[in-house]
Amino acid sequence: MEDYDNHVDCGVFAMIYMESYVGDSVSKWDVGLCPESEKQVSLLRRMRFKIATNILLHALNLHSQKIFDLAFKFQSEIPEQTRISIIVNAIKNRADRDPEKDVRKENVLKIDVDK
């Protein structure tokens, strides 16, 4: 089994805990998380999507209507195969836009003296 050591999704975990809190004591608190695994990776991916959607489309977001209109236009005016191609290419080229950070345990607290 692959070694998972997630030091990236702290905010997502915090949101999951905050969303699931109903006032029970910690011993009765079930947030629905599973151990680190591919299943958890999938759960976190869906949760990030849900959080981003809520932020982007929230009534207090001044740009939410524009984002909704763009998403609606993308869905309704672009053929499905073209949409899939755009999404696949965006995923493939993600590293070019936003390179992954080195978040291994030994590097998390490492001081960068070159800055």
Which pair of structure tokens corresponds to residue 60?
């207090």
Inter-residue contact 29 to 21 (CB < 8 Å): yes
Percent of the chain scored above 70 by pLDDT? 81
CA distance 98 to 89: 14
Rg (CA), the chain: 18
Segment 16-27, tens digit of pLDDT: 888 888 888 878
Segment 6-46, tens digit of pLDDT: 777 888 888 888 888 888 887 887 787 878 888 888 888 88
Q: pTM for the whole thing?
A: 0.60
Inter-residue contact 75 to 83 (CB < 8 Å): yes
